[in-house]
Amino acid sequence: MSVVIAAYILDLLVGDPPWFPHPVIYIGKLIAALEKFFRLVARNPSALRLAGIFLAATVVGLSYLVTGFLIRLAELVHPWLALGVEIWLIATTFAVRGLAGAARDVLIPLSRGDLELARRKVSLIVGRDTRALDGRGITRATVETVAENIVDGFVSPLFYALIGGAPLAMAYRAVNTLDSMVGYRNEKYRDLGWASARLDDIANFLPARWTGLLLVAAAWLTGRRAGSAWRVIKSDARCHPSPNSGIPEAAMAGALGVRLGGLNYYGGQASFRAYLNQPGQPPVVDHIRQAIDMLYLTAALAVISGTAVKMISGSLF
């Protein structure tokens, strides 16, 4: 438990330094290599769907086993080294500082009216087309991605770290990386990526709902619209195409009193997402700052509540 708290503090202090090797880079390389192999041996949709199962199982399993092996190897040298390795590995699965920094990278040029730079910065953190976004579109995209990524950028890896330490947290990060690389519902990945997409939905199911409650609590503590956040979760979250992402986005929309969702473009194709909190105002630049504040407070509440439950369950069982 203290290892998880130390990892959380480490992420807040240093984040993911670009000069330091990150495990997700190697997970991504493994996924790319296995995708290439499976596409060579699986020549029809049925074979690709089966290959998708093997792809997900191999990447997640190896991520779990290699992480455990590294900690065990460090323990053979010295227990303190093993502790440090586990703290570092868990910290690499967290992204509070990185997500907040990426949102600020959009906020700063947007505040100056530099739309071109703001578009370039927001394109690094969203999957939608950004070249034609106006200020409101950039703002909405940023608030939505902050809300959505509270789950997979912190609460989900925290959830699994509390249950199974660094190996399970890294296994979750592998699931999330698989989804981001092959979990698309387009023609290219519909068959090979279906297992990864479903696994990501399952892995985030409980953490997303925990996050919704945490966002309501964060809204209440900061004097924002906690009641509205709860109502929008209940009424609008199910309208989101993702079974999980709609919950934090709906909570954020209600808490900030803004309307999220609407028309997006992906690869030039229009895609309309149902509005979340339709009576709300379109988000303005300051709502990015408020979303960052909600991110930090929600992460802190997740650590407090998660460690408290861990302590209570440990004392009972």
Handedness of CA 169, 170, 171, 176 (dihedral sign): positive
- What's the confidence (pLDDT) of residue 317? 54
Q: What DSSP string runs through 192-219?
A: TTHHHHHHHHHHHHHHHHHHHHHHHHHH
| pLDDT digit string, tens, across residues 150-183 | 999 999 999 999 999 999 999 999 999 999 999 9
The mean pLDDT value for 64-74 works out to 98
pTM of the shown model: 0.95
Give me the mean pLDDT over the 4-15 stretch. Answer: 96
Q: Which residues pair with 263 in a beta bridge?
A: 272
Q: What pLDDT does residue 66 have?
A: 98
Percent of the residues in the chain that have a pLDDT greater than 70, as a whole number: 99
- Alpha carbon distance 54, 49 (integer Å): 9
CB 148 within 8 A of CB 137: no
Interatomic CA distance for residues 209 and 247, integer angstroms: 7
pLDDT of residue 316: 58
Report how far residue 31's alpha carbon sits from residue 172's, in angstroms, rounded to the nearest whole number.
14
Q: What is the mean pLDDT of residues 54-66?
A: 98
Quick check: 21 and 132 in contact, CB under 8 A?
no
| For residue 55, pLDDT beyond 60 | yes
Segment 186-195 mean pLDDT: 92
